[in-house]
Structure 1
Amino acid sequence: MLIKEQLETYSFSQAESLTVSFLLEHPEELEVLTIQEIAKKTFTQPSTLVRIAKKLQFDGWKDLKQAYLEEWAYLSKNFTKIDANLPFLPTDSTMNIINKLAVLEKSTIDDILSLLHHDNLSKAKQLLLNAEVIRVFSQNANLLIAQDFALKMNRIRRTVVLSSLKGEERYEAYNVPRNGCAILISYSGENTDILKINQILKSRDVPTIAITSIGDNSLSKECTCFLPVTTREKLYSKIGNFTTNISIIFLLDALYSIVFSENYEKNLEHLKRVGQLVDTRKFAVDVMREE
């Protein structure tokens, strides 16, 4: 759950509610205001802000302030011209719909780039490089998206297996070798099946890479390495999982690419050599011609 959502839904005292209203209505002022100045504006005490921070599981006001400002900055950029849930209207023409989808996809890429950090990507890379086998756990469309990742990784001799048989996932989690690694994909980060799988893997010291939403969700807190997806969509009041799907595709492509780059020349030569042996497709456009 986002900090903004926690502030909007948690139960606060009357004095705390006054302060919370100010935080929600004036996030842009928080960076320059001291705790005493906020208390003065809300006719409360500085200790009120500390109590709010504690209720939201932060060590103190400074930690809450920093996290809230970072979240507000994220939510205030990229998706200013398009609604991730309803990117087009029933009155839009065919070309208007297509143009709006193009804006949506470009905004999603910019958004996901703003969320990624070098250290987390480096950690994920090492986990994948050190893994004898990589198993992907997810459900529905997310599992379909992961098939392309598995195909590409397997072609460069990195063993990736998808857990696709319903009811077998927990058995498969217990059978992941300790020198393996798991990728868990869940937009909400609260899918009970995925969380149980993560618990099993954690109990066996198998490292996990979680691809999930930002905010205070259970999966992001319990995994070994957290990679955030664009978090703009509601659970079901939307036309489609456009931004979620694009984010997952981008992140899996990113993971494949940074693993590929570790042995760039060797992997590229292998793909070319095997491609010459097995790819017999004809082409109609000269740009496809192989030398």
Structure 2
Amino acid sequence: MLLTEKLKQTGFSPSERAVIDYLFAQRELIEDKTMKQIAEATYTHPSILSRIAHKLDFTGWVELKAGFLEEINYLNRHFSDVDANYPFAPEDGLMAVANKMAALKRMTIEDTLSLLDHEAFEQAVTMLHEARHIKIFSIVHNLLLCHDFKAKMNRIGKHVSLCEVDPEFEAANSDETTCALLISYTGESDTTLRLIPYLKQRHIPVLALTSVGENAISNEADCTLRLTTRERLYSKIGSFTSNDSTQCLLDLLYAGVFSKDYEANLAYKINMSKRLDHRKSSSEIMQEKEHPFT
């Protein structure tokens, strides 16, 4: 759950609510304001600010303020012209729909990249690269998005399984050479959460792709990469941004693993394709040429 959502939902006293309302009114303008200045503006005491922070499990006001500003900064970026839930309107013509959908895809990729932490990404790629077997756990809808990732990884010799049938058995029947990849937009999916005890018991490293903010799955994962978090659960035309963000991260993970042994992976992939891909084309652009790595 996003911090901004917690601030709206958690039970607060009238004095605490006055401070919170001020935060939402001022947003990024609070960056240079001290506790004393905020307390004076809201006719409260600085201790109220500390109390709010502690209620939300922060060590103090400075940490809460930093988290709030970081989240506001994220929510302000991108998506200023297109609504992720309703990217086009009933009166839009077909080309207007097409252009708005293309703009949404561009913004989703930019947004996903802005959330990518270098250290977490490096850790995630290392986890997948070192794993003998990668098992992906998620709801069926997300697993459909993973077939292309599985195919690409298989073509460079990485064993990937999409655990749709009997995921509890797949989790329990794994060892430390397996990496579990959990995908959940909400981070609260019971279907996925109930697998974590099995994975932890078997000492299996867990990589999560999930939404921005604190959630149950990110709290349990060894490494977390964040998905674009702009959509409601069901009040929307389609899961455009969450799907595109998931596919973007999967492509980045594949590219990262590929780059770990670039020449060997490229040679392996091209040689396998030469043997198995029998497509023909009259287009000069599509014609294959000899490659130095093969």
TM-score interval w.r.t. the shorter chain? over 0.9
CA contact 1:7–1:24 (8 Å) conserved in 2: no
Distance, in Å, in 1 between the alignment partners of 2:71 and 2:215 is 14
Name which of 235, 238, 254 aligns with 1:237: 235
1:284 CA drift (Å): 3.0
1:125 CA drift (Å): 1.2
Distance, in Å, in 2 between the alignment partners of 1:275 and 1:130 is 24
Residue 157 of structure 2: SS of its match in structure 1? coil
Runs of 4+ in 1 over 3 A off after TM superposition: none
Partner residue, 1:23: 23
CA contact 1:131–1:179 (8 Å) conserved in 2: yes
Within-5 A mapping of 1:28-177: 28-165=28-165, 168-177=166-175
Residue 194 of structure 2: SS of its match in structure 1? helix
CA contact 2:175–2:203 (8 Å) conserved in 1: no
Aligned-partner residue type, residue 5 of structure 1: E
Distance, in Å, in 1 between the alignment partners of 2:60 and 2:197 is 29
Alignment: residue pair count: 289
Per-residue Cα deviation, 1:211-236 (whole angstroms, up to 9, x for no partner): 00011111111101000000000000
Residue 183 of structure 2: SS of its match in structure 1? strand
Partner residue, 2:276: 278
Residue 285 of structure 2: SS of its match in structure 1? helix
Distance, in Å, in 1 between the alignment partners of 2:20 and 2:237 is 33
Partner residue, 1:254: 252
CA contact 2:211–2:229 (8 Å) conserved in 1: yes
Distance, in Å, in 2 between the alignment partners of 1:274 and 1:193 is 37
Distance, in Å, in 1 between the alignment partners of 2:260 and 2:225 is 20
Residue 208 of structure 2: SS of its match in structure 1? strand
Aligned-partner residue type, residue 208 of structure 2: A
User: Sequence identity, in percent?
Assistant: 44
Q: Which runs of 5+ in 1 are unaligned?
A: none
Residue 150 of structure 1: SS of its match in structure 2? helix
Partner residue, 2:14: 14
Aligned-partner residue type, residue 104 of structure 2: L
1:28 CA drift (Å): 1.8
Q: Which runs of 5+ in 2 are unaligned?
A: 290-294
Per-residue Cα deviation, 1:123-156 (whole angstroms, up to 9, x for no partner): 0111112111110001122101111111111111
TM-score, structure 2 as length reference: 0.97
Aligned-partner residue type, residue 67 of structure 1: G
Per-residue Cα deviation, 1:75-121 (whole angstroms, up to 9, x for no partner): 01101000000000111000000000011001101101110011001
Residue 287 of structure 1: SS of its match in structure 2? coil
TM-score, structure 1 as length reference: 0.98
Distance, in Å, in 2 between the alignment partners of 1:90 and 1:199 is 47
